[in-house]
């Protein structure tokens, strides 16, 4: 799973650019690159993605890596607190207490509908760093290339932070995430409307975007 980091955000819009996967070149006594076997290449790609995912999640889910472009990657260290996870599965985890029970249920239903209709998985974590399960989210949510991890944390001003899987990144323009963060994540919005309003508005905007036909103009507006 690739995670994006957008300079202006920058997360979450397709967030940061995916690492470029280049064909590994084996050393040769003939001084010419040898072509790796397909199985070896696939193993290399799999290992590369696995390592990238671990690094991204360990920092991104604790707001060490953000797609909002706030630039606090160096300011945070990875957190792994599985004890903060709920006992039963839920696509919405509100450690910070931003949402009411009714709001959590509505968001969970919307997320279930999104997954059923589009095949993409949206997961929402509301936190106040360092009070977060952090990397433990990876296994709990089975994060993969079709997963959008939405971290709502007001620590650095903009409350909307996103980590976007590689498959999602192919369909959703990166500019969408930065515009989404700019519209509903800015400090003026969530301080006036409330953190819960920012979270709900972002989820609905993502839902609308994912349901649009893929094309040159999809997700051009944050609704």
Dist CA 158 CA 188 (whole Å): 9
Structure-block tokens of residue 110: 């919307």
Instruction: Write out pLDDT tens, residues 13-62.
Output: 333 333 322 333 233 333 334 444 555 545 544 444 444 344 334 444 44
| Contact (CB, 8 A) for 86 and 94 | no
Is the distance from CB of 152 to CB of 198 less than 8 angstroms? yes
pLDDT tens digits, one per residue of 125-163? 999 999 999 999 999 999 999 999 999 999 989 999 999
Query: How far lies 127's CA from each of 12, 121, 160, in Å?
Result: 16, 19, 11
pLDDT tens for residues 117-130? 999 999 999 999 99
pLDDT at 15 (0 to 100): 38
Whose structure tokens read 């996103």? 162
The answer to whether the CB of 160 falls within 8 A of the CB of 198 is yes
Task: Say which DSSP state 34 is in.
Answer: B
Q: Domains of the chain by range and CATH?
A: 39-208 (3.10.310.50)
């Amino acid at each position: 799973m690739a995670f994006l980091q957008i300079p202006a955000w920058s997360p979450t819009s397709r967030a940061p650019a995916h690492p470029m996967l280049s064909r590994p070149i084996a050393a040769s006594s003939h001084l010419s690159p040898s072509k790796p076997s397909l199985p070896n290449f696939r193993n290399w790609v799999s290992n590369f993605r696995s390592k990238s995912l671990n690094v991204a999640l360990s920092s991104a889910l604790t707001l060490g890596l953000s797609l909002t472009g706030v630039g606090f990657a160096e300011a945070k260290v990875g957190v792994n607190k599985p004890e903060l996870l709920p006992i039963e599965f839920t696509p919405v985890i509100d450690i910070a207490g931003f949402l009411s029970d009714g709001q959590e249920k509505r968001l969970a239903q919307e997320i279930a509908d999104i997954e059923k209709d589009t095949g993409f998985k949206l997961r929402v974590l509301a936190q106040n760093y360092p009070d977060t399960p952090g990397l433990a989210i990876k296994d709990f949510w089975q994060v993969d290339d079709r997963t959008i991890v939405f971290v709502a944390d007001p620590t650095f001003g903009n409350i909307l932070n996103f980590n976007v899987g590689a498959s999602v990144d192919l369909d959703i323009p990166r500019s969408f995430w930065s515009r989404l963060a700019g519209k509903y994540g800015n400090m003026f919005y969530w301080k006036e409307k409330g953190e819960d309003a920012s979270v709900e508005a972002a989820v609905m905007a993502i839902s609308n975007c994912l349901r649009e036909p893929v094309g040159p103009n999809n997700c051009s507006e944050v609704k």
